[in-house]
């Protein structure tokens, strides 16, 4: 056989697409491209599976569910004639069970998935961009016309005097402690801070949340206030409006020196956990060498098609600094892969992106807040319905929370929905679908909902725009 007739072997380091990052976004991109017929290199560094399965969603929600049983036992006294008790008898066993779940899901959803895609080559190592756009991983130089960066995010460490001398925790290490601390100071009132704070409080620790802007500062003010009330009722101390001065170790504990309303404040705890936000993982990629622009936080700047400033390079997920939810990371990565393979015809759409905070009561939102809607130029009208008007909450003897709907006053079109309720997470998708379909609050209020469900609260909240639901009989409307 002459040279001209020999089959051409593909370049071993040549790929149609290189995906950097082996978490949920990276896997979504790699699988999507492989299904489109591409030869893909998936570059992973550190533990495969990324944040969600290893140190984020899965372990935190497992622990949240575990301590819910403790709270349910205490809350049984809401019903006359009912007594119940529960306790943690073996903290190490609980942590081990949580870790076993993480290990099982990492294998089932990541490691064991790869062999199903022959077109995907997994490469372990740290990826570094070269000036020509190739990717150096150890001693391999990967050549490709298309790249998707999905390297996720990491804990933001604030600049506070004394912090460098403190052995602080983040949400990862906090949920790996062999012993439950007697007291915990959680710095930061975002969703990570409130979730982990409540886990430890329900497990028996004395918990104080310290923050500059309060709990869930991006949420509607009514939601933040209701969550603060619920946490305070559980014995969690919430100190907001703080200016952090310095940290030090005193008598084996961490002490925070701060200022609140012009007055000095000190907070002591056995352990300090930082929940001060997350920043994109871009520092080791040498993006400058490849001319890839980033914002002030290090997030890769992308357009609606997920393109970076360098042609052929896309980014998705937490590394962009936007919409830091695992489902949005997977969605954005899938979109980026399709655009990389077939042209930039698809656009990222987060206009009806639901979000959930797994506190108790749960916080769930979709669409615009009242302030955002006003900033968009709408003449805004709102409805706020306390859970004491929702039959489901009354029968459960748990009326913590509220539902707030945001609408355009002239058209009555729904613009946003915001819920804080014990079962709020299972309600928000109905609101998301209502927004997606362009429904008015009259449309939502006229729909038939099953009685004695939390989601029925959406109907009642919609009717509250123009009616006093306190004057309606059950199921009336």
* pLDDT at residue 2, as a whole number: 42
Q: In the chain, what is the straight-line distance between the N-terminal and C-terminal CA atoms, in Å? A: 83
Give the tens place of pLDDT for each residue, 240-272. Answer: 999 999 999 998 999 999 999 999 999 999 999
CA distance 460 to 152: 40
* pLDDT at residue 297, as a whole number: 93
CB-based contacts of 96: which residues, under 8 Å, 6+ apart? Answer: none
* pLDDT at residue 476, as a whole number: 53
Give the tens place of pLDDT for each residue, 38-71. Answer: 999 999 998 899 888 888 899 999 999 999 999 9
- Cα–Cα distances in angstroms (integers) from residue 79 to residues 138, 232, 266, 398, in the given order: 63, 22, 39, 10
Strands 153-155 and 263-269 come out as unpaired
Give the number of other Cβ atoms within 10 Å of residue 1's Cβ.
6
pLDDT above 80 for 9: no
CB-based contacts of 167: which residues, under 8 Å, 6+ apart? Answer: none
Task: Kindly state the helix (H) or strand (E) to which residue 19 belongs, with its residue range.
Answer: strand 17-20
Question: How many residues are recorded in the chain?
Answer: 477
Q: Give the pair of three-digit tokens for residue 464.
A: 């509250």
Q: Give the pair of three-digit tokens for residue 348.
A: 């990222």
CB-based contacts of 80: which residues, under 8 Å, 6+ apart? Answer: none
* Half-sphere exposure of residue 344: CA atoms within 13 angstroms, side-chain side: 13
* pLDDT at residue 7, as a whole number: 38
Q: Give the pair of three-digit tokens for residue 263.
A: 């007055």
- Helices and strands (H and E) in the chain: how many: 13, 23
DSSP string, 220-276: -HHHHHHHHHHHHHTT-EEE-SEEEEEEEEETTEEEEEEEETTEEEEEEESEEEE-S
Strand partners, 367: 416
Give the tens place of pLDDT for each residue, 127-185. Answer: 999 999 999 999 999 999 999 999 999 999 999 999 999 999 999 999 999 999 999 99
**Hey, what domains does the chain have and what are their CATH numbers?**
12-154+279-342 (3.50.50.60), 163-276 (3.50.50.60), 355-465 (3.30.390.30)
Q: How confident is the model at residue 6 (pLDDT cuts 50, 70, 90)?
A: very low
CA distance 25 to 150: 6
Give the tens place of pLDDT for each residue, 83-129. Answer: 999 999 999 999 999 999 999 999 999 999 999 999 999 999 999 99
* pLDDT at residue 11, as a whole number: 62
Rounded mean pLDDT, 15-37: 96
* pLDDT at residue 470, as a whole number: 76
pLDDT above 70 for 10: no
pLDDT above 70 for 439: yes
3-state helix, strand, coil in the chain (%, to 5): 35, 25, 40
Pick from 341, 342, 329: nearest CA to 302: 329
Strand partners, 408: 380
Q: What is the model's pTM?
A: 0.93
pLDDT above 60 for 4: no
Strand partners, 263: 260
- Cα–Cα distances in angstroms (integers) from residue 461 to residues 52, 400, 473, in the given order: 33, 15, 15
- Cα–Cα distances in angstroms (integers) from residue 311 to residues 135, 168, 314, in the given order: 15, 41, 8
* pLDDT at residue 87, as a whole number: 93
Q: What percent of the chain has pLDDT over 90?
A: 92
Pick from 397, 387, 405, 407: nearest CA to 454: 387
Torsion sign over Cα 367, 369, 375, 380? positive
Q: Give the pair of three-digit tokens for residue 316.
A: 């998705």
The chain-wide mean pLDDT, for the chain, equals 94
Q: Give the pair of three-digit tokens for residue 15.
A: 């790929």
| Cβ atoms of 416 and 367 closer than 8 Å | yes
DSSP 307: B
* 3 state SS of 44: strand
DSSP 5: G
């Amino acid at each position: 056989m002459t040279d001209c007739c020999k089959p051409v072997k593909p370049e071993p380091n040549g790929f149609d697409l290189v995906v950097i990052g082996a978490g949920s976004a990276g896997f979504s991109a790699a699988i999507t491209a492989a299904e489109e017929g591409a030869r893909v290199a998936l570059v992973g560094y550190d533990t495969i599976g990324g944040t969600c399965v290893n140190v984020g969603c899965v372990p935190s929600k497992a622990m949240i569910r575990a301590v819910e049983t403790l709270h349910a036992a205490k809350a049984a006294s809401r019903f006359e004639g009912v007594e119940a008790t529960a306790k943690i008898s073996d903290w190490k066993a609980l942590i081990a069970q949580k870790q076993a779940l993480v290990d099982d899901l990492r294998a089932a959803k990541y490691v064991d998935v790869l062999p199903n895609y022959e077109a995907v080559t997994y490469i372990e190592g740290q990826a570094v961009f070269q000036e020509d756009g190739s990717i150096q991983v150890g001693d391999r130089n990967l050549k490709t016309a298309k790249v998707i960066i999905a390297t996720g995010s990491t804990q933001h460490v604030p600049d506070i005097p004394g912090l460098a001398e403190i052995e602080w925790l983040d949400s990862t290490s906090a949920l790996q402690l062999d012993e439950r601390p007697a007291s915990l100071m959680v710095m930061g009132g975002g969703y990570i801070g409130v979730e982990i704070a409540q886990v430890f409080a329900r497990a028996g620790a004395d918990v104080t949340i310290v923050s500059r802007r309060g709990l869930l500062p991006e949420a509607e003010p009514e939601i933040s206030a209701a969550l603060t009330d619920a946490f305070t009722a559980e014995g969690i101390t919430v100190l907001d409006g703080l200016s952090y001065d310095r940290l030090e170790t005193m008598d084996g504990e961490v002490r925070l020196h701060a200022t609140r309303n012009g007055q000095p404040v000190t907070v002591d705890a056995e352990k300090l956990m930082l929940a001060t936000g997350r920043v994109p993982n871009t520092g080791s990629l040498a993006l400058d060498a490849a001319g890839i622009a980033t914002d002030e936080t290090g997030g890769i700047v992308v357009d609606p098609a997920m393109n970076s400033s360098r042609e052929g390079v896309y980014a998705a997920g937490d590394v962009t600094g936007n919409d830091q939810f695992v489902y949005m990371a997977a969605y954005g990565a899938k979109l980026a892969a399709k655009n990389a393979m077939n042209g930039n015809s698809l656009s990222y759409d987060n206009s009806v992106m639901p979000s959930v905070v797994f506190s108790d009561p749960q916080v769930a939102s979709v669409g615009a807040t009242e302030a955002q809607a006003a900033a968009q130029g709408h003449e805004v009208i709102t409805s706020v319905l306390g859970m004491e008007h929702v039959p489901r909450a009354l029968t459960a003897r748990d009326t913590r929370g509220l539902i707030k709907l945001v609408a355009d006053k002239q058209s009555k079109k729904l613009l946003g929905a915001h819920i804080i309720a014990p079962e709020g997470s299972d309600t928000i998708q109905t609101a998301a679908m209502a927004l997606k379909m362009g429904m008015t609050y009259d449309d939502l209020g006229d729909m038939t909902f099953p009685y004695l469900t939390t989601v029925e609260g959406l109907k009642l909240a919609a009717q509250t725009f123009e009616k006093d639901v306190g004057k309606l009989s059950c199921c009336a409307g």
